[in-house]
Amino acid sequence: MPFALSLLTDSPSAVATPLLAVALAADEPLPDALHDLDRRLAGTLGRSIARRDFRGGRDETLHLAGVESAGAERVLLVGMGKVRDRGPAVRRAAAVAARAAAKLGTGAIAFYAPALDAGGVEQAGIGLALGAWRYDELLTPAPEAERRAPLEQGAVVAESGADGADGAAGGVAAAEAIAAGYAVARRLAMMPGNVCTPDTFVETGRELADRHGMALTVLGRTELEAEGMGSFLSVAQGTPQDPKLVALEYRRGGDARPLVLVGKGLCFDSGGINLKPGEGMFNMKFDMCGAAGVMGAMEAIARLGLAVNVVGVIGSTTNMPSGTAMKPGDVVRAMSGKTIENHNTDAEGRLVLCDLLHWVKRYEPAAVVDAATLTGAVVIALGHTAVGVFGSDDALTQEVLAAGRRASERGWELPMFDEYREQLKSDVADLKNVGGRAAGAITAAWFLRAFVDDAYPWVHLDVAGTAYAETDLGWLPKGPTGTPVGTFVEFVRGRAG
């Protein structure tokens, strides 16, 4: 049940499809390019707009049954709201349309928005794929009679506009690559904790490495011990599962220093001895969304064939309370040599990441961007709307923020003032893993930065509020959003020039 994307250069009135989605901005009059279609539909489009049955509000839809003689069996008007930034508006409308098509069971959808250039075609394609995505591997199929056709085909309708048919075809190809990356990440994220384990990241890494000719490195408990990753291992000591570090090397950029993407891969975070409250704990299967984002980005980057060197590194384990688990007050030695007092076993993500951030120095990175569902505090600060962005280098931080905007994964920078670092002072060790309730997302970032140690320009993305949705977002369902795949891909793409 893969989702296939294609380009249609027909006029919207000529497109033969079970469902034609037409995206319009708020209070936008019917564009000239749709007058033919409107005539075929006996003036239904114009009337719906004139009567204000359809106003073009964001996520608004109006389903029109169509007429028998027309090319499109059904027409769905989709609102884009007041459009400030066209790319994200098109992506979102396409996702809304695809979700509606999936619900109807039309099997296929064609999407039209006025005056799409190549970039707009790409955004439309990504949106269709995001809206069509589902995770049904664990569902028993419904009885034949009740089954609806799964949405398996999406087409973007673009009359050869500003960038011509070649440009538009390129937009569809890029959308396919990026959508495949999102699908890798969302599938891993949606898998329950007993299905997605550290070994699943190894299998995914191996599969990606084989298919795209990337080099694969896998370290288990024994190798992590040999590397001296006492911090990462302290998290893993409460689980019988073998922890895994997985590194994928994509080399298409000559001898340039690589960009390194790092992800937190906690397949489940119970909190450990500092056990989390039961309510909502099931969502902690999503504590591997940073790592899933790295895997998804590597898939997309390889499919795009970008001329860059990129290394994707994930650290995966499970944070469990047990007789062997780390305890509050324990002191461990990280790979860098620094000692860490564990003040709260639930602040485990940073304990994994700090060893990864030290380990990646072997690649002499041009830049490192990590992503992690790191703190509840970032959710308090920025809600479910913006990724928390922290950096050691202003140019890189701005670059990643811009990448996030292009990818409809907006980030917001939080300050790394020196004063915050004081909160990590420990009585017995070089630093402790928590800095109190105040500015919790920032002190977490400062903890990581102590292990970056200015060895490379670095940005940290806290995606705890944005990598998965606890409620239906309208354009995306409850569950994994795919963030930070798009930010990673746009960042790397920006470097590929």
- Residues of this chain that interact with Mn ion (CB under 5 A) are 269, 346, 348
- Residue 243: name its binding partner from Mn ion, ligand BES, Zn ion, none (Cβ under 5 to 8 Å by kind): none
User: Rounded to the nearest whole angstrom, what is the least distance from the CB of residue 180 to ligand BES in the complex?
Assistant: 26
Instruction: Identify which range of 297-305, 332-340, 343-351, 359-367 contacts ligand BES by CB under 6 A.
Output: 343-351
- Sheet strands (E) in 203-308: 215-219, 244-251, 259-269
User: Rounded to the nearest whole angstrom, what is the least distance from the CB of residue 374 to Zn ion in the complex?
Assistant: 7
Out of 349, 391, 480, 482, the only residue in the binding site for ligand BES (CB under 6 A) is: 349
d(CA 290, CA 310): 16
Among residues 127, 56, 132, the alpha carbon closest in space to that of 91 is found at 127
User: Rounded to the nearest whole angstrom, what is the least distance from the CB of residue 198 to ligand BES in the complex?
Assistant: 16
Asked whether the beta carbons of 345 and 326 are under 8 A apart, the reply is: yes
List the catalytic residue out of 134, 264, 285, 350. 350
Question: Is 269 among the residues that bind Zn ion (CB under 5 A)?
Answer: yes
In sequence order, the 6+-apart residues with CB closer than 8 A to the CB of 156 are 5, 6, 7, 8, 94, 110, 111, 112, 116, 121, 124, 125, 128, 168, 171, 172, 175
Q: How many helices (H) and strands (E) does the chain have?
A: 15, 19
Which of residues 269 and 355 has its CB atom nearest to Zn ion in the complex?
269
Question: Is 269 among the residues that bind ligand BES (CB under 6 A)?
Answer: yes
| 327 catalytic residue (yes or no) | no
List the catalytic residue out of 86, 206, 276, 333. 276
Instruction: Identify which range of 66-74, 191-199, 217-225, 342-350 contacts ligand BES by CB under 6 A.
Output: 342-350
Which of residues 239 and 373 has its CB atom nearest to ligand BES in the complex?
373
d(CA 263, CA 312): 8
Out of 440, 457, 482, 484, the only residue in the binding site for ligand BES (CB under 6 A) is: 440
> What are the structure tokens assigned to 380, written together?
């308090």
Mutual angle of helices 198-212 and 289-304, in 10-degree steps: 10
User: Rounded to the nearest whole angstrom, what is the least distance from the CB of residue 246 to Zn ion in the complex?
Assistant: 18
Q: How open is the CA angle 347-351-354, to the nearest 5 degrees?
A: 135
| 350 catalytic residue (yes or no) | yes
Which of residues 344 and 426 has its CB atom nearest to ligand BES in the complex?
344
d(CA 274, CA 290): 22
Q: Which alpha helices (H) appear in 41-132, and where do they start and end?
A: 44-50, 86-104, 118-132
User: Rounded to the nearest whole angstrom, what is the least distance from the CB of residue 344 to ligand BES in the complex?
Assistant: 4
Question: Is 12 among the residues that bind ligand BES (CB under 6 A)?
Answer: no
Question: Is 349 among the residues that bind Zn ion (CB under 5 A)?
Answer: yes
Question: Is 351 among the residues that bind ligand BES (CB under 6 A)?
Answer: no
Question: Is 462 among the residues that bind ligand BES (CB under 6 A)?
Answer: no
Out of 287, 299, 370, 409, the only residue in the binding site for ligand BES (CB under 6 A) is: 287
Question: Is 464 among the residues that bind ligand BES (CB under 6 A)?
Answer: yes
Asked whether the beta carbons of 384 and 466 are under 8 A apart, the reply is: yes
User: Rounded to the nearest whole angstrom, what is the least distance from the CB of residue 494 to Mn ion in the complex?
Assistant: 32
Asked whether the beta carbons of 213 and 287 are under 8 A apart, the reply is: no
- Residue 487: name its binding partner from Zn ion, ligand BES, Mn ion, none (Cβ under 5 to 8 Å by kind): none
Which of residues 318 and 423 has its CB atom nearest to Zn ion in the complex?
318
**Reduced to 3 states, what is the DSSP secondary structure of residue 100?**
helix
User: Rounded to the nearest whole angstrom, what is the least distance from the CB of residue 464 to ligand BES in the complex?
Assistant: 4
Among residues 72, 81, 77, 168, the alpha carbon closest in space to that of 125 is found at 168
Q: Which residues bind Zn ion (CB under 5 A)?
A: 266, 269, 287, 349
Among all residues, which ones are annotated catalytic?
276, 350
Q: Which residues bind ligand BES (CB under 6 A)?
A: 269, 287, 344, 346-349, 373-377, 379, 434, 440, 464
